[in-house]
């Protein structure tokens, strides 16, 4: 299978495991009806890959994966929004410094996490949906 898909699937597995125990799914089009967002949705979406040659036999593959966290909320409910921001931080903390085991007996090592912006003000205002996206980058040498 594709390296990008293997890493995305390994992230889904990590998100489903304790201590997070989230109902995460890998998706190509993480689009939901508002009624579906009454419960927390965590989507794992392949974003990109950058390959750099290290020598004739080894390449460095930096794979970026987006982890989207969405839930319909009352935009004036500060406590609910704070809890969702904390959940995003918990996901980032849990995946930081993580080594993902890949199906081909390899592994991917965490390189960085970006969360910019930390939530979408437009989604919150227009749809009353909290949306935050973490972009995780993992490195594989092969």
Angle CA 46–50–54, to nearest 5: 140
- How far is the CA of 21 from the CAs of 94, 119, 129, in angstroms? 11, 22, 22
What pLDDT does residue 110 have? 98
How confident is the prediction along the chain (142 residues), in pLDDT tens digits per residue?
A: 799 999 999 999 999 999 999 999 999 999 999 999 999 999 999 999 999 999 999 999 999 999 999 999 999 999 999 999 999 999 999 999 999 999 987 899 999 999 999 999 999 999 999 999 999 999 999 9
Predicted TM-score (pTM) of the model is 0.95
Only one residue has tokens 């930390």, namely 118
């Amino acid at each position: 299978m594709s390296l990008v898909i293997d890493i995305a699937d390994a992230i889904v597995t990590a998100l489903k495991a304790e201590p997070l125990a989230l109902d995460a799914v890998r998706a190509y089009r993480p689009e939901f009806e508002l009624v579906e967002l009454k419960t927390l949705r965590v989507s794992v979406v392949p974003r990109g890959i950058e390959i750099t040659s290290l020598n004739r036999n080894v390449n460095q593959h930096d794979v970026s994966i987006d982890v989207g966290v969405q839930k319909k909320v009352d935009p004036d409910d500060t406590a609910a929004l704070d809890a969702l921001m904390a959940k995003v931080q918990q996901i980032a903390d849990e995946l930081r410094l993580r080594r993902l085991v890949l199906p081909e007996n390899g592994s991917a090592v965490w390189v960085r996490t970006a969360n910019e912006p930390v939530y979408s003000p437009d989604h919150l205002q227009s749809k009353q949906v909290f949306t935050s996206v973490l972009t995780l980058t993992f490195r594989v040498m092969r």
